[in-house]
């Protein structure tokens, strides 16, 4: 029997034909740590740790992995069937509801459909979505949009106008709590995202200025009443 890689034993894998180098090779060829763990019979966190060690030794690995997979591998039969089923579900959803599925829906089915669509968008941005899948989605809806839709110029201008109208009428910042209506909660969640972006210096200066002009207290966690004129 072949010897087990001592490093591999440290991370919990005792399969005689699988060592950390093999895990790394699988990862470099596009397999995700969870799938590597499933195939090797170990916990995924162990694979993540092992790959992290290799990446620390060679920081160029993530970039080389990305470059290698700019062009997607051919989909397996199961993957094609899964995509076809989800496409059918998505088409039926649009026909019945007349809108895109929402991330914060109370329906688990709708949230799952949103997650699938978000993964297609992410794959398209990375260049990993095949042309035939992109064409299939194009034939159903205008599905292409940035992942951070709240930071798009059009959306920002629209939400800013709604925020200005709300503050003008209610003399306070929108909140998600109490008797807040659906539209107020949407504005509150939008502001939460902008606060997070501001803390990470992702929010542009002109957007900060626009928010300050409309609602000077938009950064606050509470909803203090603004002084009336």
Domain final residue pick, 47, 68, 89: 68
Quote the pLDDT of residue 164.
Answer: 92
Q: Vertex 154, ends 150 and 157: CA angle to 5°?
A: 85
Query: Residue 148 burial (CB < 10 Å; 0-12/13-18/19+)?
Result: exposed
Q: Is residue 143 part of a domain?
A: no
Long-range contact pairs involving 143-151 (C-beta distance under 8 Å, separation at least 24)? 143/100, 143/117, 145/121, 147/118, 147/121, 147/122, 148/193, 150/190, 150/193, 150/194, 151/197, 151/202
Of residues 40 and 111, more confidence is placed in 111
Q: Is residue 1 part of a domain?
A: no
Q: Is residue 178 part of a domain?
A: yes
* Other C-beta atoms lying within 10 Å of the C-beta of residue 125: 12
* Same domain, residue pair 159 and 134: no
Quote the pLDDT of residue 202.
Answer: 67
DSSP class of residue 151 equals: G
Average pLDDT over residues 122-134: 82
* Same domain, residue pair 154 and 209: yes
Domain that holds residue 172: 149-214
* Same domain, residue pair 63 and 85: no
Domain final residue pick, 23, 38, 68: 68
Asked whether the beta carbons of 80 and 58 are under 8 A apart, the reply is no
Q: Is residue 224 part of a domain?
A: no
pTM listed for this prediction:
0.36
* Same domain, residue pair 13 and 63: yes
Average model confidence (pLDDT) across the chain: 75
- CA–CA separation, 113 and 86 (whole Å): 8
* Same domain, residue pair 132 and 154: no
- How many folded domains does the chain comprise? 3
Quote the pLDDT of residue 8.
Answer: 47
- Give the best-scoring range by mean pLDDT among 24-33, 62-71, 179-188: 179-188
User: Tokens standing for 140?
Assistant: 């159903």
pLDDT at position 68 over 80: no
Domain final residue pick, 46, 68, 90: 68
Of residues 148 and 135, more confidence is placed in 135
* Same domain, residue pair 25 and 60: yes
pLDDT at position 150 over 60: no
pLDDT at position 191 over 80: yes
Q: Is residue 191 part of a domain?
A: yes
* Same domain, residue pair 113 and 167: no
* Same domain, residue pair 22 and 60: yes
Q: Is residue 222 part of a domain?
A: no
């Amino acid at each position: 029997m072949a010897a087990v890689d001592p490093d591999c034993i440290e991370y919990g894998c005792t399969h005689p034909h699988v060592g950390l180098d093999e895990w790394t090779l699988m990862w470099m060829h596009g397999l995700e740590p969870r799938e590597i763990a499933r195939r090797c019979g170990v916990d995924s966190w162990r694979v993540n740790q092992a790959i992290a060690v290799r990446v620390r030794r060679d920081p160029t690995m993530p970039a080389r992995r990305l470059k290698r997979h700019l062009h997607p591998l051919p989909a397996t039969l199961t993957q094609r069937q899964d995509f076809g089923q989800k496409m059918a579900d998505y088409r039926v959803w649009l026909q019945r509801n007349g809108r895109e599925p929402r991330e914060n829906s109370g329906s688990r089915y709708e949230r799952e459909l949103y997650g699938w669509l978000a993964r297609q968008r992410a794959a398209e941005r990375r260049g990993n979505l095949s042309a035939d899948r992109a064409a299939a989605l194009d034939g159903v809806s205008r599905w292409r949009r940035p992942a951070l839709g709240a930071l798009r110029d059009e959306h920002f201008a629209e939400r800013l106008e709604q925020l200005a109208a709300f503050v003008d009428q209610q003399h306070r910042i929108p909140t998600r709590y109490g008797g807040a209506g659906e539209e107020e909660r949407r504005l509150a969640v939008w502001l939460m995202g902008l606060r997070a972006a501001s803390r990470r210096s992702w929010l542009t200066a002109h957007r900060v200025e626009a928010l300050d002009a409309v609602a000077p207290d938009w950064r606050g966690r509470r909803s203090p009443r603004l002084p009336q004129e």
